[in-house]
Amino acid sequence: MHLLLFNIIDQIRSLGWGGAFELLRNGIVLGSLYSLIALGYTMIYGILKLLNFAHGDVYMVGAFLGFGVLTAFGGALNPGIGLVPLIIIMFAVAMLGSGVLGVGIERFAYRPLRNAPRIAPLIAALGVSFFLENSAQLMTNGFQYNYDAFQLGGKNGNFGPLFDPVFTVAGNPVTVVQVLVVGSAVTLMAALIFLVSRTRLGKAMRATAFDQEAASMMGIDTDRVISSTFFIASVLAGAAGVMYGLYIGTTFYFMGFLAGLKAFTAAVVGGIGSIVGAMVAGVLVGLIESYAIGYVGGQWSDIVVFGILILFMIVRPTGLFGAQAIQKV
C-alpha cells in the first residue's frame, strides 16, 4: 500500500504540469463520450424507470454503422468523397440507424412488458444486450476493426488532418479530432437541454416521466413520447460510437459492455434521471479514468472508477444531482 502511494506521488512528480494537462485533455475527451452515453441511461430511466442494459450495445452498433459508411466509401485510405462530407455522412447514418434501433428495441422488447413487474423489462434489457452483442459478433466475425482515422483525408498514405494539433498547451497538442469530439458532444448536449426545457416534446417528456398516467389523461400520447425518448437517447449513443471510432479507432462487438457500464456509473453518480447530472458525471468519470491511467496505471483504472461508484453510493446514494430528484426528466 505504501509502495503504491509512493509510486503515485512519484508519477505525479515525474509527469509534471504538462502530464497533468495531457491527462486532463484525455479525460475530457473520453468523458464527453461517457456523458453522451450516460444521457441515454438517465433519460430512459427517467421516463420508464428502466435500466436499459442494451444501451451500451446501441453505442457499439453506432460505431459499426460509422465504420460501415467509411468502408462503403472506400475506407480511410481511399475515401471516394471529401473528409468533411464523409464524416457528416458517418455521423448521420450512425445516429439515425442507432435511433431507429432504439425505437425498435423499445417497441418490441419493452413495450409489451409495460405493465409487467419491473424485473421483467430488466431481464428483457439484458436479453437485448446479449442479442445485439452476439448478432454483432456473428456479422463481424468477431474481429476488431479499425477506423484508421489518422489516415482520413491524407494523400498517398500520409497522415490526414484529424490528428493535427489545433493548439498546444504546456507542450501538449490538442488535435482536430479531440476538438471535434468535445465540440460535437457539447453541441448535442446543448440541443438536448433546449429540447427538454423549451419544446412541447420536452414538456411532454417531463410530464410523462413524472406521471405517465396523468400525462396520458392530459392528452399526451405517452407511447409516442417514450418512443421519442428512446430515439433521442440512441441517437446520442450512436454519435458517441462514431466519435469513439474516429478518436480511438478500435470497434468490436463487445465494446459496448464496458463503455456502457462506465456510462451507467456516470449516470448513477450524477443522480439517475438527472440530465445535467449525467453530463457532469460523464466528464467526471472520464477524468477519473484518465488520471487513474496516468498516475496509478492503466491496469488500475477500472478498479478506481468502479471503486468510486461504490464509495459514492455509500456516501450519497441519490447521486450528485440527486437532491433535486424532482427535476428528473
Partner 1 sequence: MAEPQPSPESTQTKPLLELEGVWKSFGGLVVIDNLDLAVNENEIVSVIGPNGAGKTTLFNLITGIYPPDSGAIRLDGESLVGLPPHKIARRGAARTFQTLRLFLNMTVIENVMASQYGQTKVGIARAMLRTPGMRREEREIRARAEEKLAFFGERLMGYRWDQPAYSLSYANRRRLEIARAMATEPRILLLDEPAAGMNPSETHEITELIGKLRDDGGYTILVIEHDMHVVEGISDRVVALDHGVKIAEGTFEAVATNPRVVEAYLGTSAAVTK
Q: Which residues bind partner 1 (CB under 8 A)?
A: 191, 194-195, 198-201, 203-204, 206-207, 209-211, 213-222, 228, 326-328
Q: Check if the beta carbon of residue 262 is closer than 8 Å to that of residue 74.
A: no
Our CB check for partner 1 shows the closer of 123 and 214 to be 214
Minimum gap (Å) between residue 183 Cβ and partner 1: 18
Minimum gap (Å) between residue 262 Cβ and partner 1: 27
CA–CA gap between residue 64 and residue 237 (Å, rounded) = 12
Minimum gap (Å) between residue 162 Cβ and partner 1: 27
Kindly compute the dihedral angle of the four CA atoms of residues 102, 107, 110, 112, in this order, to the nearest 10 degrees.
Answer: 180
CA–CA gap between residue 156 and residue 21 (Å, rounded) = 34
CA–CA gap between residue 80 and residue 165 (Å, rounded) = 25
CA–CA gap between residue 34 and residue 263 (Å, rounded) = 5
- C-alpha cell recorded at residue 110: 419493452
Q: Is residue 166 helix, strand or coil?
A: strand
Our CB check for partner 1 shows the closer of 191 and 303 to be 191
Minimum gap (Å) between residue 282 Cβ and partner 1: 22
Our CB check for partner 1 shows the closer of 123 and 218 to be 218
Which residues are bridge partners to 173 per DSSP?
A: 168
Minimum gap (Å) between residue 227 Cβ and partner 1: 11
Our CB check for partner 1 shows the closer of 146 and 216 to be 216
Q: Where would I find the H helices in the chain?
A: 2-48, 55-72, 83-105, 119-139, 176-198, 200-210, 212-217, 222-247, 255-270, 275-291, 301-315
Minimum gap (Å) between residue 195 Cβ and partner 1: 6
CA–CA gap between residue 26 and residue 306 (Å, rounded) = 19
Our CB check for partner 1 shows the closer of 215 and 293 to be 215
Whole-Å CA distances, 323 to 207, 231, 296: 19, 28, 32
Minimum gap (Å) between residue 209 Cβ and partner 1: 7
Q: Check if the beta carbon of residue 286 is closer than 8 Å to that of residue 29.
A: yes
CA–CA gap between residue 216 and residue 139 (Å, rounded) = 41
Our CB check for partner 1 shows the closer of 210 and 312 to be 210
Minimum gap (Å) between residue 196 Cβ and partner 1: 11
Our CB check for partner 1 shows the closer of 205 and 237 to be 205
> In this structure, how many other beta carbons lie within 10 angstroms of the beta carbon of residue 229?
26
Our CB check for partner 1 shows the closer of 206 and 262 to be 206
Q: Check if the beta carbon of residue 95 is closer than 8 Å to that of residue 62.
A: yes
